[in-house]
Structures are given as C-alpha cells and as structure tokens.
Chain A
C-alpha cells in the first residue's frame, strides 16, 4: 500500500493530544498516512505555516479561522475548520497578590461559580485589571470578555486584555505585568506549580461546552483533496475517541509528556486530562468533570452555531455587522465535510448542523442519524441563549 505523507502543525498544549495520539498509536498509519508533526513557536507562526503550505493542516484556536473570514488580523488567507479537537480546556487564574486580597475579602475559590468569582475579582482588582490571553483571536479572549461584560458590575477604569504567549504567562504574572490570565492547560497548572498564580475558574464555568481548538486547513484544500482530507479526519477523530475513553487517561498524560512533545511532567498534564486541578500552591484540589472534553457529547462536531457565536462576538467588538458576521462565520465550520468523511468511520451525526447555543441545562437526547444522541449541558453562566438565526438579539 502506498503511504501518503501528511504534515500537521501544533502548539505544545494538552489539546494537541489528538495529533500526538493519531501519530503515536497508529491511527494515522491505519489510514495509510505517514504523519509528521511540526511544532510552532506561536499562533501567528502556525497560522503562517498553514497559509504558506508548510503544513497541510493545523491545530488552531477556534476563533482564528472565523476572524480571518471576517477580514480581521494580520493575515489575508482563509481557513476551513474541519472538526473540533476538543471542547473546553482553558483556565483563568490570578496573581498571588490578587489571590491574597480576594481571600482576605472572604472569597473561597470554589472554582465553580463564575458570578461570585467575577465579583470577587473586580472588587479586589479595584481600578485596574490587566488580563493576559494567548492570542487576540482565541476562546480565552472571548470567554473573558463575555464573562466580564455579563457580570452586571461596573468594570475597572483601566481594563486591559492583552496578548501574552502561554509559556511567558507565569513570568508576566510574577513581574506584575498582568494581574490575571486565561490560558490553555498545562500552562495554568504550570503557573501554580511555579507558585506565581492561583486558579480562579475553568473556562467551562463561563460556557459549559465551548468550542476550543479546531483542525484547520486552507480554504478549499479539503474539497480539492477529498481522499486525503478523509483519511486525516478519520485518523484524528479516532484519536479523539481513544482519548475520550476514561481508561486511557493515564496513558494520554504519559504519551504527551514524552520527549519532543510537551515540556511539562506527566503528573501536571494529568491534572487537566483527569479534570482534577491543583488550584494553589497550598495544594487545594478542585474537580471539574468537563474541564476538557475530546470526544463525548459530539465534542468534535463543528456546529455552525458555535462559529456564528464567535463571529457575532468578534463583530460586536470590532464594529462589524453582526448578522453578516454570524453568517460568514457559520460557513467556516465545515459540518458538511464532517458528515461526509466521518459517517462511515462510525461517528453518529446530529440531525441539524446548528443549534441554540446555551439552551441545554443538562445532558439531553436529540435526534441523530442513528436515532438519538446525547448532547451535554452547554449553558452560559448568565443563562443567555444564543439563537444563530437572530444573532444580534
């Protein structure tokens, strides 16, 4: 059998796991792929590597292809998102001085309630709050904005959400350049490990089932290379399914911490994978079952409504038409290709390609091609529901 070379790019994060697993456990090989993985030093570098064809596909922040479709940012190409690599996985943390002030005012760091955490944060921050995020187009940025804007509290006079590369986040926190951060694991746990930060909330406390990373390709690539796209998508999807099986979780951490993958110990990576985080240097543990989800609840399905939500939020902040943005964004998440290539691999497929976002308070059965499938709770912390057919409402 002929082996087809395939190059995928990634950033060293826990949610690059599907790519590592697809390569390490033979899911790529099974599809006749010779998969090579290419680490990138930054999101802009990874975006450029994909745009220039140095890699065929890449792990990408879900809002990046959406922002590009809206003409935002410093790149002129367009990407398609073929599938989600995971839902959730971000954590929000605060500097040690800020954590101390919050504790002094009686906040218990329950790691659950976004309302009380937000109020405590704003009160302790006073007139100035600087939050580090990894990239301007990221779910970290979206979740932080959504959270702060919907607390019903006056925001600090000097509120700044600025870009800090994940690996430099602990340093910036310690140097007092930022007061808080939103970052993907393992970098939040790493900050706790270094004793420079205390974790305040998981991203899932703001939106309980948020799209996080996608598998992105250049626009049109998957349509022009259907066979290769199908092989790639199946290999990655099977890797996600393997990661999602609870009995494999320990192996995931071991595989991710192997030399040449993540520069973080298996023990620290395992906190994210198992959903048991150590939130402070005194060792307080918090359990978050949906901290990061690689498979369950159709986590890999690229709902057009998720992209529409991102597009609507970006448009609102950057002065673009929200109805237009939601429509253009929806076209970026290729639910059609997901159906085409993963149906025969065994993926159950929802009856619709968009849904109300934030409407499910608990796991709920919905119509699927095989009868019914369970979608997980997907509520926003403020109980708002996003209807993609009325994005500006």
Chain B
C-alpha cells in the first residue's frame, strides 16, 4: 500500500471545493486540503508541501504558484501538468474542464492518473454548473432591462404592454439585434435624457 498523496485544492467557492474534494475521495485515500483564501497563496501551499496542487485554469492567482517552482529544490520542484506531455487526450480534457495541476517532479504517472481523472471529472461538473448559473443570471438581468424598457415605452407612447414589447421586437429584428440590446439602448438613452 503506497502512502497517501497530499493534495491541495485552491478554490474560493466553498460548495465547489466540497464537490471537488468528494470527487477526489473516490479516487483513493488521499490527504486533501482546500485553500480558499488566496492571499499569500504560495506560502500557504509551501507550508503543506503537497505532492499535487489543483487550481482553476481561469484563476489569476495561479501565477502565485510559479514561486513554488523557485522556492523548492530543483529535485522536487513542482511542474505544471498538461504542458508538453504526450497524453494529449488528458490535456484536452483538462483544458476543457478548466483545471490546471502542479505535481512534484518525479512522481510516478500511474499514481497521478486516477486522481487527475477524478479531478477533471469534477471540474467539468463545476464548469457546467458555473455556466448554467451565469446563463440564468444573464437571463434574469435581461428580463429586468426589458421590463424597464417596456415601462418606458408604455409611458412615452401611451401604449399597452404587448404593443410595447412588439415594438421592441420589431426594432430588434429590423436592426439585427437582440431585444435585450435594444432595451438596454433605450434605458441608457432615457437615463441620459432625464
């Protein structure tokens, strides 16, 4: 039985972090720690001296990890995974899932692979949920703007709700724009004219 690996997950959002940790648990008995506060990230990670670090590809804080490669001895320096490796399929999956990983140089690939597979699967889920959340939020925002624009039109032209909406839709189609964009332009203009 090889010793359990020490894994650090850098993730601010608590729920997402828990999801990822659950996924990693399924990949074996490993020592998983989450770091949520990204200030002094490099020092916090160095203090734990992990075998593997997982971080969101989109996180600007990733640059702080580069210091780790300098702080440790060349023998066990962490290297960025998925760069210049032969496993193209895994690299692509990792990029699509939005996860970047750092492992200690020399760690055996067969030990890392199941963990990374699990990590990729979980980050994929996180990514999907995040995209859905963003889409819902956007739809909500658009709805609010459209309602405001509708109100403006109803007052200005003294028309009913349906007619106001039809007018915006017609304009949007004529200009090849989205209704939300037309509504936004109207709201912005109305604010300027106040």
Contacts and interface: CB of A to CB of B under 8 A. Distances in A.
A interface, by DSSP: helix, strand, loop or mixed? Answer: loop
A134 B68 CA distance: 15
Nearest to A168: B60
A45 B62 contact: yes
Contacts of A144: none
Nearest to B62: A42
Interface string B101-118: 010000000000000000
Given A44-B65, A44-B66, A136-B70, A77 B60 contact: no
A73 B82 contact: no
A43 interface: yes
A167 B60 contact: yes
Contact of A48 (B59, B69, B74, B83): B83
Contact of B82 (A48, A72, A134, A175): A48
B166 to A, nearest CB: 29
B42 A54 contact: no
B11 to A, nearest CB: 15
Contacts of A294: none
Contact of A75 (B68, B70, B80): B80
B67 interface: yes
A163 B39 CA distance: 10
A75 B83 contact: yes
A112 to B, nearest CB: 30
Nearest to B64: A163
A168 B70 CA distance: 22
B67 A72 contact: no
Contacts of B82: 48, 52
B162 interface: no
A41 B69 contact: no
Nearest to A177: B39
Of the listed residues B57, B58, B66, B83, the one surrounded by the most CB atoms of chain A closer than 10 A to its CB is B66
A165 B40 contact: no
Contacts, number: 88
Interface in B41-62: 42, 57-62
A172 interface: yes
A136 B83 contact: no
A105 B102 CA distance: 46
Nearest to A171: B39
A77 B64 contact: no
Given A52-B95, A163-B42, A165-B61, A74 B66 contact: yes
B8 to A, nearest CB: 15
Given A76-B79, A177-B40, A135 B66 contact: yes
Contacts of B70: 72-73, 136, 318
B63 A134 contact: yes
B80 A172 contact: no
Contacts of A166: 60
Interface size class of B (residues with CB under 8 A): 20 to 34
Interface string A9-42: 0000000000000000000000000000000011
B15 interface: no
B33 to A, nearest CB: 20
B91 interface: yes
Contact of A162 (B58, B60, B67, B80): B67
B83 A51 contact: yes
Contacts of B64: 162-165
Contacts of A111: none
A54 to B, nearest CB: 7
A338 interface: no
A29 to B, nearest CB: 23
A137 interface: yes
Given A44-B80, A162-B40, 15 more contacts: A41-B59, A41-B60, A41-B62, A43-B63, A44-B100, A45-B57, A45-B100, A54-B95, A74-B102, A75-B84, A77-B84, A137-B66, A163-B64, A166-B60, A318-B70
Ranked nearest first, the 9 interchain pairs of A and B with the lowest CB-CB distance are A165-B60, A74-B69, A74-B80, A42-B63, A42-B62, A163-B64, A51-B83, A41-B58, A77-B84
13 contacts: A42-B62, A44-B65, A74-B80, A75-B80, A76-B79, A76-B84, A77-B83, A134-B63, A137-B66, A162-B64, A163-B42, A166-B60, A168-B61
